Structure 1
């Protein structure tokens, strides 16, 4: 998908730089990758990537098509096993764990292509995700636990702007609403790290505006990694941006530093 870079005037005041929030970050990293490498035959899709993400940070991951962003996300979430290197989350090496085990470690993600249950109601989508976290129920507690799950699901839907649509089929939602439902599904698994893969892809200006505000709200309690082609969005949300190119880290820094980096301008921003 080609990068989409709307003009700043389309969203006045919405995508302000998040540098002012840097002071609230914890000094201790929640996520580190060390020399992370993924090879497909002779091709290194991710090559020797080392990053450190602080608790409470919004980290942007950008780069041109084929830079390795999706492969990097797939490693973090267990979809792909790295060829070499480490992924340390909360002090534990999770490299190579399967997706269900990664989810149990409190890592969740959204996908570039919306991943919901279209034939289920909006509430059921979130309820099922929440229930998946509670795998050791006592039969005596089942009824109470189910009631708690429904209450949590309704609260999450309110957080993502879908209150009042609980009984709608997910397939009947607008594209922007479906993307927000997917974020709600991820939140229902009670993550500490949320990986968002192009959360505003295909959205209108108004939908993008609402999703940016949503990400800001949920970021108060989470660490977020965001892959995003809309440069206005990522520059406005991220504390720090990591730029990938041909599977390697090209640059890393605050949004203003990335905007001013000549190598990034040449390779990605094309300015």
Structure 2
């Protein structure tokens, strides 16, 4: 069993070494991604190329296939056809936990917090979970360093003033900020955000947008979004999907006034 663990660790270490970004690589490249469930085509030949450090928003109406594509990248689903490359390495068949260890982190539309614990506890546990070493819990110095890092993350996502607050007492906007912080605890190279503004009031959105704008460009963001008012201020490039396929890929200023995009959204409203 020990030999198997060592062998597995060697495979992951080799993958991690190969996944270190080269000069100006593509952080994420999807080629011909297709997926069907029960005879229904959900994704159809999706092509996507995201540069290292880019802020890419995947936009589209409900049912466009955005979240399904997101889940394919994160390893929840395996595509029926096509390939996924992460910093030039093929991860199409890599297991979900190995993608996470390689530097792909995510958030979800629905809240996944440890209710009954404080903000600090939640971020601390996220940091410890990334390390995955139970023995490290017995090392006081390591715990001190992780607590300091948890406080730094709380600063970054603008909830330092809530460190000792039970997460059940947070506003919805503060919970979303905390979820972002817990994803950052993994120290990812690629951060996948699934509708981070879902359920936020207009008053909470500026705080989230400011937090996202302040993230370093060493981190690549891929953001699934439904609301153009949230998507466009964040994006370098916007990919618009409809019926499981990419229909338009433009800069935010061009997408906003694109007649085809307007038709997609007006069609949804109708």
Q: TM-score range by the shorter chain?
A: 0.7 to 0.9
- Verify: 1:66 aligned to 2:63, yes or no: yes
Partner of 1:202: 199
How big is the shift at 1:92?
1.4
Q: Which whole-Å CA distance do the structure 1 matches of 2:137 and 2:173 have between them?
A: 40
1:256 to 249, 253, 259: 253
State the match for 1:104 in structure 2.
Answer: 101
Kindly indicate whether structure 1 or structure 2 has the higher relative contact order, using CA contacts under 8 Å at least 6 residues apart.
1
Separation in 1, partners of 2:57, 2:136? 43
TM-score, normalised with respect to structure 1:
0.85
Residue segments in structure 2 that go unaligned for 5+ positions in a row: 1-22
What is aligned with 2:74?
77
Report what 1:49 is aligned to.
46
Residue 117 of structure 1 aligns to a residue whose secondary structure is coil
Check if 1:145 corresponds to 2:134.
no
- 1:154-187 CA distance string (max 9 Å, x none): 1101111111322211111100000000000000
Per-residue CA distance 1:117-176 (angstroms, 9 max, x = gap) = 112211111111111222357769832222111111111011111113222111111000
**In 2 relative to 1, CA 41–168 (structure 1 residues): closer, same or farther, beyond 3 Å?**
same
Structure 1 residue 97, shift from structure 2 partner? 2.7
2:122 to 125, 134, 140: 125
Does the residue aligned with 1:210 lie in a helix, a strand or coil?
A: helix
Is residue 2:175 matched to residue 1:178?
Answer: yes
SS at match of 1:51: strand
User: Are 2:156 and 1:159 aligned?
Assistant: yes
SS of residue paired to 2:63: coil
TM-score (normalizing by structure 2): 0.85
What is the alpha-carbon root mean square deviation over aligned residues? Answer: 2.0
Task: Give the match for residue 4 of structure 1.
Answer: none
